Amino acid sequence: MSTTLNRRGASYRWTLLVLLLAVGPGKASAESDSVDVPSNSHAIRYGRGWECDRGYREVEDSCAVVKLPANALLDYGGRDWECKRGFQKVDESCVAVDIPSNAFLNPRGRGWDCERGYREVEGTCVAVAVPPNAFLDPLGRGWECNRGYREVLGACAEIELPLHAYLNYSGHGWQCDRGYQESNGACVAVAVPPHGYLARSGSDWECNRGYRKALESCVAVKVPPNAHIASSGNDWACDLGYERRAGRCSSRDE
């Protein structure tokens, strides 16, 4: 029993010695890696080095307090300053933003924008002169003509619609009814030839299947032997086993 206890004690002392040898060099290394941290600073979280506390900035390996002028506060990083809302930086001070009449402090708080219905002119806000048959644009800095009118020399002139026409999507122009096309400021009927039909656009025509355009008419597609009307409907294609050569369909084995 005594022999067993002695062996256990020796084993414990040997384990303890190994642990001490392992920890010792690391501790010495950590002490040798230590960095002198100046006042008003702290060691950085990862790696070696230091950084100044919030409200201080680094100056020649030391941390000097950030001096705040009137109407200023520490910036996001805490190492410099910025002006409070309603003030702007001028040299090393914060000066109140001079807001003219009919203006307001902008979202950043460092300048101003004109109110709706006014626009900036040489540091002031001047009312937008809206002509008859017009309205303020979405931004409120200019104007647009009402639907059915178009801008002409700073005014809104009424759009004159020709016969068989209507206002387009924008409301500041026109286009012809279906079946008509524009010609010299008027809407003229689309002349659809025999074997033709009005195109999807409504302002042109196409030929029926088996016909093709030839100037202002539709002529029949001449289909050679061993051919058929192509999928387009206005040309022909060779049957299976034939290929197109010199305007006819020849066997691939020829």
Q: What is the tens place of the pLDDT at every residue in 43-102?
A: 888 878 899 999 999 998 899 999 999 999 999 889 999 999 999 999 999 999 999 999
How far apart are the C-alpha atoms of 35 and 44, rounded to whole Å? Answer: 10
Span 156-194, pLDDT tens digits:
999 999 999 999 999 999 999 999 999 999 999 999 999
**Residues 171/148, Cβ–Cβ less than 8 Å:** yes
Indicate the pLDDT class of residue 34, thresholds 50, 70 and 90: low
**Residue 154 domain-assigned (yes or no):** yes
**Residue 141 domain-assigned (yes or no):** yes
Alpha helix positions (H), 124-184 = none
**Residue 132 domain-assigned (yes or no):** yes
Share of the chain above pLDDT 90, in %: 75
Q: Whole domain around residue 141: which residue ranges?
A: 128-158
Q: What total of structural domains would you count in the chain?
A: 1
**Residues 62/38, Cβ–Cβ less than 8 Å:** yes
**Residue 199 domain-assigned (yes or no):** no
Q: Classify each residue of 178-213 as buried b or exposed e, where b means 16 or more C-beta atoms within 10 Å of its C-beta.
A: eebbeeeeebeebebbeebeeeeeebebbbeeebbe
Residue 67: CA count within 13 A, CB half-sphere: 5
pTM, two decimal places: 0.56
